[in-house]
Structure formats: C-alpha cells, structure tokens
C-alpha cells in the first residue's frame, strides 16, 4: 500500500507547477491551464484523504465532484472572456489587457 | 517495494513531467495536449486510490470536455501563437522561486503532521463506494444542498459564457 505522504507530496508538487504557470505565463489561456493543474492537485488531496480516512464517509469524493463542477464553470466563463477580449482587442496577452486600469 | 508503489511512482513521474511541459511549452496547442496527458495521469492516480467513479469522471469531464474546450479556445485565438517573443513574463524567476518556496513550505508543514505517513485500511466487506457516493449526493442528511448549488452554478456559468461570447452585430 502506498503511504498517504506520497500522495500529499505528489499533489504539492503538482500544485507548485500550476502556481508557476499561473504566475509566469503571458498568454491568458496558458494561465487558465495552470489553474486547472492546481485544481487537479486539490482533487488528488481530497480523494487521498477520503481513501486514508474513514472510507464509509463520502465527503472527500463529494467535494471532488463539486470541484469538477466548479472547474467546468470556471473554464466555460474564463474561455468565453478570453474569446470576447480577443475579439475586441486582438490579443490574449495578459500584460496588454488594461481596460480596467483607470 | 510493492507493485502498487512502483505503479504510483511511474504515474507520478509521468504526471509531473507532463505538468512541467504544460507550463513551459512554447506552442500553446502542445501545452493543451500535455494537459491531456497530465489529466490522464491524475485519472490513473484516482484509480490507484480506489476512486473508480472519480477516475471515470476525470476522463469524461476533464479530458473529454474541458481539455477540448481549451484546444478550441487556443485555435480560435490562433494569431498569438505565432508571436515569437518569450512565453513567460519578465518576472519568471520570481514565479519559480515562489513555486519552489510553496512546495518547500507545504512539504515542511506536512512533515510535522502526525498522520503524514499513514497507510490506508482495507475496504470494509460488501461496501459499495459508488452507491454510497450516489446516496451522499442526493440524501438530505448529507450533501444534497452543495450538489444543487453546484448545478445552479454550472447553469449560471453556461448562461454567462453564452452571453459573453455572443457576437452582437
């Protein structure tokens, strides 16, 4: 049996990789890709805690399902925003999107 | 080292390598395709954790829907793929430092936790995890309210996405 610590370290590494992508990418779609990696790391933690805690309580899996729904909503709205911005400004580089700057 | 541990190590290495390619690939279509392989590795991890339903949902929802949505969005904004400049901003070293510090912080925080190297108990006999999950999602004593809130959220997100991307002409 794999110890819980391996899953937690794996998930922490995946979260850090996602964080690096979110902080450093210039393209708005690539930033969303990083957010997806972070959400997946969180889901691994939720499922691992379900498996290594009380298996009869389904809280970990239920929250993983809800994270799936939130991720789908986030991607739908995020990509719609990116495409809408691309139509108006012809760019998806995050540095150049300054419409909300006064 | 047992077979399960070897499978876990291979899966974790594959997933982390694909994840690194997602954040470093220059071509965004390649980054989206590496995301598919990362998500597949995570699905294998769920299967290793005996969460079969979550593994299947990962493949259908994440790889089947979300990754395809990403590839579509990348192709709809294709003009920027040809930009020859760097794909990361000027402060990439600060981002890398912060990511490494986050990992070190999480690892040291977890080291001090008493349940860190716990091993899992065997499944109770005649326990059906999928049936229990289905009951937990619709039972009033359990999680029916978060489940309904999640469905309202999805509905609102879809209406919002259609409104945002609608081309008024």
- What does pLDDT average to over chain A? 88
CA distance, residue B8 to nearest chain A CA (Å): 8
Interface contact flag, B28 A30, Cβ < 8 Å: yes
Reported as half-sphere exposure (CB side, CA atoms, 13 A), residue B33 has a value of 7
Residue B37, chain A, CB below 8 Å: the answer is: no
A53 has a pLDDT exceeding 90: no
Q: Suggest the residue from B164, B166, B167, B169 to mutate for an interface test with chain A (most A CBs closer than 10 A).
A: B164
Could you give the CA distance from residue B153 to residue B6 in angstroms, rounded to a whole number? 40
A39 contacts B144 by C-beta, under 8 angstroms: no
Residue-wise pLDDT for B72-108, tens only, equals 888 888 765 555 566 777 788 888 999 999 999 999 9
Interface contact flag, B127 A55, Cβ < 8 Å: yes
* The pair of three-digit structure tokens given for residue B32, joined into one six-digit string: 């989206």
Could you give the CA distance from residue B34 to residue B98 in angstroms, rounded to a whole number? 23
Q: Which residue has the tokens 């794996």?
A: A10
Whole-prediction pTM: 0.90
CA distance, residue B25 to nearest chain A CA (Å): 10
**If you write DSSP's letter for every residue of B68-94 in order, what string do you get?**
HHHHHHHHHTGGGGG--S-SB-TTHHH
Could you give the CA distance from residue B39 to residue B44 in angstroms, rounded to a whole number? 9
B39 falls in which pLDDT band (50, 70, 90)?
very high
pLDDT value of position B18: 93
Residue-wise pLDDT for A10-45, tens only, equals 999 999 999 999 998 888 888 999 999 999 999 999
> Closest Cα partner for B87 from B18, B28, B20, B34?
B28
Q: Suggest the residue from A7, A18, A29 to mutate for an interface test with chain B (most B CBs closer than 10 A).
A: A29
What secondary structure letter does DSSP report for A93? B
- What does pLDDT average to over chain B? 86
């Amino acid at each position: 049996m794999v110890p819980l610590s391996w899953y937690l370290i794996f998930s922490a590494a995946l979260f850090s990789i996602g964080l690096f992508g979110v902080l450093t990418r210039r393209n708005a779609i690539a930033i969303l890709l990083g957010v997806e990696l972070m959400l997946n790391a969180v889901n691994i933690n939720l499922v691992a805690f379900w498996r290594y805690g009380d298996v009869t309580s389904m809280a970990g899996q239920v929250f993983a399902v809800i994270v799936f729904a939130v991720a789908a909503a986030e991607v739908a709205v995020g990509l719609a925003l990116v495409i809408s911005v691309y139509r108006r400004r012809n760019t998806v580089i995050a540095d150049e999107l300054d419409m909300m700057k006064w | 080292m047992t077979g399960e541990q070897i499978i876990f190590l291979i899966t974790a290495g594959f997933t982390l390598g694909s994840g690194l390619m997602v954040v470093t690939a220059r071509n965004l279509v390649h980054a989206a395709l590496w995301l598919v392989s990362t998500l597949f590795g995570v699905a294998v991890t769920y299967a290793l954790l005996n969460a079969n339903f979550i593994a299947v949902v990962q493949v259908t929802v994440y790889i089947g829907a979300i990754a395809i949505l990403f590839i579509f969005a990348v192709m709809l904004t294709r003009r920027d793929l040809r930009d020859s400049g760097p794909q990361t901003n000027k402060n990439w070293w600060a981002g890398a430092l912060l990511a490494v510090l986050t990992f070190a912080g999480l690892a040291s925080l977890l080291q001090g936790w008493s349940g860190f190297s716990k091993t899992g108990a065997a499944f109770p006999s005649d326990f059906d995890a999928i049936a229990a999950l289905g009951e937990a999602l619709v039972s009033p004593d359990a999680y029916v309210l978060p489940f309904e809130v999640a469905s309202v959220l999805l509905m609102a997100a879809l209406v919002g996405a259609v409104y945002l991307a609608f081309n008024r002409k």
